[in-house]
Amino acid sequence: MTFFKPTLSRLALGMTLALGLTAGAAAQTIVKIGYATTKESHYGVGSTVFCDEIEKGTQNRYKCQQFPSSALGGEREMTEAVQLGTLDIVNTSTGPIGNFVPEVKIVDIPFLFRDYDHARKVMDGPIGQDILGKFPSKGIIALGWTENGFRHMTNNKRPIVKPADAAGLKMRTMENKVHMDGYRTFGILPTPMAFPELFGALQQGTVDGQENPIPVILASKFAQVQKHLSLTGHVYSPALLLMSPRTWTKLTDADKKVFTDAAKKAGAAQRKKVNDDENTGIAQLEKDGMTVVKAVDGAAFREALTPAYASYAKEFGAENIKKIQDVR
């Protein structure tokens, strides 16, 4: 009978290993992350770094499945899905987020930020961190800031140098009252539209133009359907990694730290991609056939915004706007 013992032992060992492997496989959790642009875009770069970091930090207990190019809907729909718990994470611009967390709207004010250095200092400092703290009470976890970039205007009608040139243009905007109120002071006819519908609308002439950062204009191939680009830099567009509380509450404290640390690294990578696209993208868009207006009359645009700033001061508090403007 002893002849069978090693065989039985090997059998028992094999079963133990098989059970261990099954348990290991079962322990892996897939988290789904969605964003509006392509995997090669700044959102894709940031999301990939985020995914790599959480996989590494949790020894592959958590693994990402990415859904780029609005595969799960527009930013508003994806944010709703995160709130409902049907999507784990979204990497989204702040454009539609004021509809969920009103405190975010202040950073969407046109011509609020001087440059990237100013904007990033605000988002990384007490003001930006305080805004992140407003999310949990609205049923969303804000893991950290990423970035979309300074927004510029494109259209098919004419070059835009001053506000009068933009007057009467039907311009696709995000569903964002702060943006729309500002754009109306330029004489623009703001036309809210979900991002996935935009390329077709530009192609068909449903709208004359749109406004987005250079990385989005590049990644979305808008040069194929837009003639004129004006470097208005009229709005700084931050972005966020937002997570479903349903997913967040399942994480251990150690894993929560992995996710928040991963969000910081994702934000840094996304900003770097924005910088790279800003540095090389304008020349690429010219090569792709766009006429680029580099010397925009920023003073005239700011002057045109005066009525809107009066209403922004009422809504957000003049002192809160000044606090952002005073960050050095």
- 141: Cβ contacts below 8 Å, ≥ 6 apart: 135, 242, 243, 244, 245, 248
> What is the SS3 assignment for 293?
strand
Other beta carbons within 10 angstroms of residue 291's beta carbon come to 13
0.75 exceeded by the pTM? yes
Class level of CATH domain 24-325 = alpha beta
Q: How far apart are CA 102 and CA 74, in angstroms?
A: 19
**Cβ-proximal residues to 310 (8 Å cutoff; 6+ apart), any chain:** none
* Residues of the chain scoring pLDDT < 70: 1-26
> Considering only CA atoms, which of 41, 39, 107, 46 is closest in space to residue 264?
46
pLDDT value at position 16?
45
Domains in the chain: boundaries: 24-325
pLDDT of residue 5: 45
Helix, strand, coil in percent for the chain, rounding step 5: 55, 20, 25
Residue 7's pLDDT is: 46
Whole-angstrom Cα distance, residue 229 to residue 159?
7
